[in-house]
Structure 1
Amino acid sequence: MNHRNTTDVSEFLLQGFPFQPEFQRLLFPLFLSIYLLTFLGNVTIILLIRCDIQLLQTPMYFLLSHLSLADLGFTSTTIPKALVNLLSQKKTISYHGCLAQMYFYVFFGNFDIFLLASMAYDRYVAICCPLHYSAMMSHKRCLQLATVSWVVPTIHSLLYTFLMSRVEFCDPEEIPHFFCDVFPLLSVCCSDTSLIGLTVMTEGVVEVLTPFVFIIVSYALIFYSIMKIPSATGKRKAFSTCGSHICVVLMYFGGISFVYFKPHSKSPGFQDTVATVLYTMVSPMLNPFIYSLRNSEMKAAMKRVIKQRFQ
C-alpha cells in the first residue's frame, strides 16, 4: 500500500452520502432548509434571552443561550460543506480544512454534552433542593458551569487534532463519510494509530460517559423526588419543568450511542449516516422549538420583547 506523509497531503475526498442518486437530489433543499431553520431558531433563542432581563437572570435560560450557541456552531461545522459538496462533482476538502472541521465538530459536540449535564444539574437543584436554589445556582456558579463546558471540550479537541496531525494517510485519501470525523479519518491512516485508539477508548469514552452518567443520576434523583409529591398537579408541574430537557437529551445521546458505542466498520452504512444526520442536523434544529413551544416563560418573554420593540 502506498504511504504518503501528512505534510504531502493537500486534500481529502469525501465519499458523501450512501443514498440512491435520485434521493441525493433531495438532500440539498432538505439540508439547506434544516440549516436555515436551525440558524433562525437558535439566533432567536439567543437574542430573546439576551434582550429579556427576566430570562437572562434565570440560570436555566443562561445555560440555554450557550446551548443555542453550541448548536449553531455544531451545524455550521458540517452542513455548509455538505451543501457545497452536494453541488460539486468532486467532493473534496483540504487537509487543513479537514483537521479544522474535525476540531470544531468534536469541540461543539462535547460542548453540547457538558451543557446538557449542566442543565440537568440545574433541574436537579430546582426540584430536589428548591429552598437552596438561589444559593446553589448563583450567577457565579452558572459562569463556572459555562466555563467548564467551554474549556474541557477545547482541550479535548486540541488533543485529538494534534494526534491526528501526526499520522500518515494512504493513497487515495478518501474518507468514508460526508465530513471529517475521528473514526472515518482513522480508517484511511497508514501509520500506527494505537495511541489515538487508546485515547478514544479511555479519555474520549470518559469525557462522553461522565456527563451522561451525571445526567442519568440527576434525573433518577429528580424522579424519586417527584414521586414523593402527594398531588397529581404538583407532579405534572414538576415533570413539565424538565420535559423539554429530557427530549433534547434523548435525541442527542440516542444518535451518539447508535453511531459511536458499537463496533465500527470501514465505511458507515445507511443507518449510521441517518443517525449522524439526526444528531448533527435535526436535533439542533428542533431544540429551539422544543424549548419555546413547550415553555410558557419563553412565550411570555417573546411577547414582552415584541411589545417593547413596537412601542
Structure 2
Amino acid sequence: MDNLLALRVFVRIVDAGGFAKAADAMNLPRATATKLIQDLEKHLRVKLLHRTTRQVSVTPEGAAYYERAARLIAELEEMDEAVSNARAQLRGRIRVDVGSVLANQILIPALPDLRARYPELHVDLGVSDRPVNLIGEGVDCVIRGGDLPDTSMVARHLADLDWVTVASPVYLKARGEPTHPDDLQTQPARPDDTARLPGHAIAGYFSSLTGRAFALEFHKDGERRLVQADPAVAVNESTAHLSTLLAGVGIGQTFRFAAQPWLDNGQLRQVLPDWTRPHHPLHLLYPLNRHRSAKLLAFADWAQGVFAPFDRRKG
C-alpha cells in the first residue's frame, strides 16, 4: 500500500464528502480509492469511515485521524512548494472560482500579465456566480463580494466596488424616467381600484441559493429605501444581468465598472443619480490550511493589484 497516497485519498474523501468526488478530483479510478481506504483501515485495524449507498460519514476514530492527517498533508505540500520554488519559478496548477462579470471584465483581460510573470503556473478558472465548496470541489480560492459567508476562511480584501442604477435609452423612452425610488414600486391604478400596476419594470438578480431576487437599495441624506418589487425578468448570473439591462428589459443596479463602457457609448443611462448604494466589499477567500502556499499567495498578491484600480476607497 502507498501510505502517503492512501492518506491523501482519505483526507480528500472527508473533505469532499464522498468517494466519487474525491477520486474524480484526484484523477484516480474510484475502485483504486476504495481499495486504498480498505488497506488503510486494515493497516490501522480501525474503521475510519461509515459507508452507505447514499453517503459517507466519519467514525470518531476517523475524525481524530483526519485532524492530524490533514495537518500533515498541508505541511508536506508546503514543504514541497518551498523546496521547488527556492530554485525555480512558481509552478503547478491553481484552481480559482470567480463571479462571471468579475472574470470577464477584470480578471481574464489581466491573465496575460500573470502568465508573463509565472509561465509555469497554470490557472483553472471556474466562472459562475454560485457559491462553491472550496474543500469539496478542490478549489484553492474564490473571489466573492458581499458579507463574508464563512469566518473559517482567510479573507484578503481586494476592493470596494461602486454600484450604479441604469436602464437603456429605449426602455426610458417607452416608460419614462423615475425621479424617486418609490417610482419603482407597484402603485394602485386609482384609489378605488384594488389592482396594482408596476411603476417600472425591474431587471432583477436572484440568489442561486434561495431563488429570491435581491432588493434594489437606495441611500440619500440619511434616508434608506429598499425596492423589493417583483422583477419583470430576473437572472442569477452577473453577465446575463448586464445583458438584460442592455436589452431594455427594465431598470436595475449593477457594478459601475461593468456598466461604464455602455454608459460611455450611450447604450445605458444612469437613473436616480442622486441616490447611492453602499459599496460592495470584494474578497479573495481561501482555507486556513493553505495560508502558506507560495502559489496561492503569489496569485492573491497579483489579484490585489489587478482589482486595485476598481477600489472606490481609493477613488
TM-score (norm 1): 0.22
- Normalized per residue, which structure has more helix? 1
Structure 1 or 2: more strand by fraction: 2
Q: Normalised by the size of structure 2, how large is the TM-score?
A: 0.22
Structure with bigger RCO (C-alpha 8 Å, 6+ apart)? 1
